[in-house]
Amino acid sequence: MKIVTAWLAANGFTVPTQPQLIEAAIAGALTIAALAVGWYASRTIGPRLAQLAADRAGLKDGPFQPQICAIVRHVSAALLLAIILASRSWEALATLPIGLALSAAAARATVALLRSANLSRWVSWGVAGFVFLSLFSYSVGGLTPVTTVLGRIGVEVGSKRITLLSVVTLIIASVAIYAIARLANRVINHAIGQARGFDPAQKLLFQKLAGIVVIVVAFFVGVDMLGIDLTTFAIFGGAFGLAIGFGLQKTIGNLIAGIILLMDRSIKPGDVIVIGEAVGQVNKIGVRAVSIITRDGKEHLIPNENLMTQEVENWSFSDRNVRVRIPVGVSYHCDLKLAQELMLRAANDSPRVLKSPKPNVWLAAFGDNAVEHEILAWVSDPESGIGNVRSDVLNRLWWLFKEHGIEIPFPQRDIHVRNWPAAAPAAVTDRNPT
């Protein structure tokens, strides 16, 4: 040890005293203890918080839940290391392990938080690198040298100077606000979705309004954090209003139309509607368009304004029961009463046909080739399709008619010949021999 001390002194290095070495050893032990506490917290508290986030905050399927244990580990360690660093005035040698571990833990926590908000890997690690450098510089000697260097690098834009420090601050603040706003929006949407006092349309309306409020609050918080004067947005606001009047008129119109649709609850997610030739179930009411999924699996995106200005059939607006009309024709020679009883039986045997209101059979007309009837059957799940109900009833009716000898007619024509042309005289052949 004396040889090492002598070599350091001979080469101009400052030789640490024994109290400084003891203090550095204590700081290293406390650093290891803080990291161990963070690891233990991730194994005990982390799974419970992950389950709580899945059950109460609706974060089960997103990327946040898998990152919770890592977030708990690194945040716990960083908080303990920050407390240790601030507990006394450590010597420079002792601050080195504490500052290094604190910076690394904070950087890892930043990566986990940003990745849980679906930010890209390079953005997450870029922000984490800045956090690491900032905290490490603060721990070992303060941020003044770093901020001074970043503040000197810049360009003059008009009467203002844009420095590298202001750009980095803007990027870090924007990323942090975006991540917090996205997580808050998801938690609020889940809380509204779990509320029992609202129907699906009201829940969707409040979720969209809450999303707008979160964006507005995040904007003003960011403006306040960055110290931006709101009067600088006056010209931008005028230009934005002019853009709405010309280029964004349809977009804003669709947005307002979507909010009106949700407020008056004329169309709700889950409704079965008919607009033009499209028949399907409303899947989602978005900012610009309503998503309708038809029975053949095609998804139609219909602008919100079209639903406000065009005629729309809503099969489940006030009542989910829908009546299905099934035309059937029978022969003029059959037992009409028996045929009608078999029609009712086929409708009652179909599993999706309701017993109340009960199905009915109407004699519609005496057609050219058949006695025309209509089977009127009710279903309560139109989103499952109407054609398959009609097909099921007709299939059952086919076998019932076969079993009881009821004829299903087809077009026939009787031809009456008034005058049959006389037969042409047979040609006389000279058979005399030559």
283-306 pLDDT, tens digit per residue, is 887 777 888 888 777 888 888 888
The predicted pLDDT at position 392 comes to: 92
The predicted pLDDT at position 199 comes to: 64
Please name which of 81, 72, 79, 66 lies closest in space to residue 46, comparing C-alpha atoms: 72
Same domain, 370 and 274: no
For residue 259, which amino acid is it?
I
Same domain, 27 and 138: yes
Most confident of 114-118, 258-262, 288-292: 288-292
Sorting pLDDT into bands at 50, 70 and 90, what band is 338?
very high
d(CA 292, CA 274): 10
The predicted pLDDT at position 363 comes to: 92
Same domain, 394 and 299: no
| End residue of a domain, out of 81, 114, 142 | 142
Q: In terms of residues, how long is the chain?
A: 434
d(CA 368, CA 366): 7
42 in a structural domain: yes
Same domain, 6 and 131: yes
d(CA 198, CA 205): 10
Same domain, 53 and 124: yes
154-168, 260-274, 366-380, 417-431: segment of lowest average pLDDT: 417-431
Which has more confidence, 32 or 248? 32
130 in a structural domain: yes
Same domain, 335 and 365: yes
Question: Which domain does 360 fall in, by range?
Answer: 322-404
Strand locations in 20-171 (E): 154-157, 160-163
The predicted pLDDT at position 4 comes to: 44
Using DSSP's 3-state secondary structure scheme, residue 199 falls into coil
Give the mean model confidence (pLDDT) for residues 314-331. Answer: 83
d(CA 189, CA 213): 12
Same domain, 307 and 279: yes
Same domain, 356 and 398: yes
| End residue of a domain, out of 142, 168, 187 | 142
410 in a structural domain: no
47 in a structural domain: yes
157 in a structural domain: no
Same domain, 310 and 327: no
- Evaluate if residue 17 carries a pLDDT over 90: no
116 in a structural domain: yes
d(CA 251, CA 303): 9
The stretches of 57-91 forming alpha helices (DSSP H) are 68-87
34-38, 242-246, 250-254: segment of lowest average pLDDT: 242-246
The predicted pLDDT at position 375 comes to: 92
53-67, 173-187, 408-422: segment of lowest average pLDDT: 53-67
169 in a structural domain: no
Sorting pLDDT into bands at 50, 70 and 90, what band is 382?
confident
Give the mean model confidence (pLDDT) for residues 17-24. Answer: 74
pLDDT digits (tens, 9 = 90+) for 198-207: 666 667 667 7
149 in a structural domain: no
Same domain, 298 and 333: no
Which has more confidence, 333 or 263? 333
- Evaluate if residue 420 carries a pLDDT over 50: yes
d(CA 377, CA 346): 10
State the total domains in the chain: 3
Same domain, 277 and 397: no
Report the chain's mean pLDDT, rounded to a whole number.
75
d(CA 206, CA 199): 11
Same domain, 369 and 330: yes
d(CA 81, CA 87): 10
- Evaluate if residue 23 carries a pLDDT over 70: yes
**Is the N-terminal amide bond of 357 cis, ω within 30° of 0?**
yes
Sheet strands side by side (includes 299-303): 299-303, 289-294, 278-285, 272-275, 313-314
Q: What is the DSSP track for 327-363?
A: EEEE-TTS-HHHHHHHHHHHHHHSTTS-SSSPPEEEE
Which has more confidence, 15 or 106? 106
CATH code at position 300: 2.30.30.60
Partner residues linked to 156 by β-bridges: 161
The predicted pLDDT at position 357 comes to: 87
CATH code at position 391: 3.30.70.100
The predicted pLDDT at position 345 comes to: 92
